[in-house]
Amino acid sequence: MSHRLQDSIEDIKRMLLALGDQAEEMVGTAVHAVDARCPEAAALVRHAEDQVDKAEVSVEEACLKAIALFQPVAHDLRFLVAVMKINSDLERIADLAVDIAGEACKLAKTSQPADWPFNMADEVRTVREMLHTSLTALVRGDAEMAQRVRSQDRQVDALHRSMFAQVERAMLDRVANVSTLVTLLNVSRHLERIADHATNIAEDVIYLTRGNIVRHRTFHTDAA
């Protein structure tokens, strides 16, 4: 039975990593849709949503089946519990990518002033790096790499607060562009939420590799 359990776990790993790759690709395409104001790219993200939803259900069903059939303990049980949590985070990341794609469609209908002061490049770069690193940490079972993701979450929070302050100031000077400014703020908010889910994944990697539950504990406290 142990051999059959390990085969099942390997299948689940492949399913989860495929889902992670797809979620990461959706985020990248959604961000491109915003940058390029490209509704065609946004449509690609929306079309991928059903496939992600089906994959998320398949991963959950495979985990529940493995638990029911093989009654795993210790590390194997911890792995399956962590996978179900990561699976949920990946599905939510895909949903947020769809939300960003929706904002991109709104932006595609507006004109951007030549002196437009906003640049979310740092937030985009950091969020995408966090997502990629959290998935890499999962593949490698690397808790130290996962800790680095946790340390970046505050950086994204600060970038989002900065974006909020910029939009708030701009609304006073650019009344005609209020709807566009709100759309940009929504994109920033969705990115911040993706960072939160990437952090959740990193924390589950730490739980998987070390058996420590670090949710609701600050990075500095946990590292001390």
- Burial state string for 91-101 with b = 16 or more CB within 10 A and e = fewer than 16: bbbbbbbbbbb
Q: In 3D, which of 15, 13, 95 has the Cα closest to residue 48? A: 95
Would you state the pLDDT for residue 115?
61
Would you state the pLDDT for residue 19?
96
Would you state the pLDDT for residue 176?
66
Would you state the pLDDT for residue 116?
67
pTM, whole model, 2 decimals?
Answer: 0.90
Would you state the pLDDT for residue 217?
63
Q: What whole-number distance in Å separates Cα of residue 21 and Cα of residue 15?
A: 10
Average pLDDT per 10 consecutive residues for the chain, totaling 224 residues: 88 95 96 94 96 97 96 92 96 98 93 71 95 93 95 95 90 80 94 97 93 68 46
Q: Read off the CATH number of the domain in which 180 is found.
A: 1.20.58.220
Q: In 3D, which of 195, 182, 186 has the Cα closest to residue 151? A: 195
Domain with 97 in it: 2-223
Q: What whole-number distance in Å separates Cα of residue 104 and Cα of residue 87?
A: 26
Would you state the pLDDT for residue 179?
87
117: tokens are 């002061």
Would you state the pLDDT for residue 39?
95
Q: In 3D, which of 20, 27, 2, 94 has the Cα closest to residue 59? A: 20
Q: What whole-number distance in Å separates Cα of residue 194 and Cα of residue 200?
A: 10
User: How many structural domains are present in the chain?
Assistant: 1
Would you state the pLDDT for residue 222?
54
Q: In 3D, which of 99, 206, 66 has the Cα closest to residue 146? A: 206
Would you state the pLDDT for residue 178?
86
Would you state the pLDDT for residue 192?
97
Q: Which residues have C-beta within 8 Å of that of residue 2, sequence separation ≥ 6?
A: none
